[in-house]
Structure 1
């Protein structure tokens, strides 16, 4: 009886810990592409690809071979020039997402409307050149 209780207790403690560790590693992702700086070089964004089972499913590509780019999902993360994290937005098909600087906003247009975010990262100051 005591062994069964110990096993249950260990499962209750270890299972959520494992789920948390797996999720945090998935959410971290791997950098995808180069850093893209704002026009005034005060900010930059970096694409981070996360694991998706869609990448492992074989498919027949279109003649131009562009369908495979939509299988790479991930985050667009914005930072200050010295590396301080500002915010992130999830994007479907990160190679095809259109990302642009607009005054004090980093706009991410991935072609998918979802209710969790509006595809914008609010910047602390303007990203434009002072003309």
Structure 2
């Protein structure tokens, strides 16, 4: 929680993609708590490490407009966010998820059976 918003981050490395990336989809599962006020996903830049980022040391820079927005997300459900506007080639990408819900929620993480995915399609294969 930072101010009146909840923030989560996901980082992925795209490698081995050939051709032009035509679509990129961030796929996440809501593990706990329905998210009534919805979520926006944005491209985020800056350095951070898993397990060390907190609300007090978060210095990441959020991109301009949101890449995608979903309203009212239900617990136990998978959601796909279009992040094509940010993923342009082989590189590391960070996405920020922001919600103004007042209760905490849990996204499935890489430690769960439902780890987050970044699905990338190209005109030259995957």
In the superposition, the TM-score normalised over structure 1's length comes to 0.30
Task: Give the greater-gyration-radius structure (CA).
Answer: 1
Structure with a larger share of its residues in strand = 2
Structure with a larger share of its residues in helix = 1
In the superposition, the TM-score normalised over structure 2's length comes to 0.30
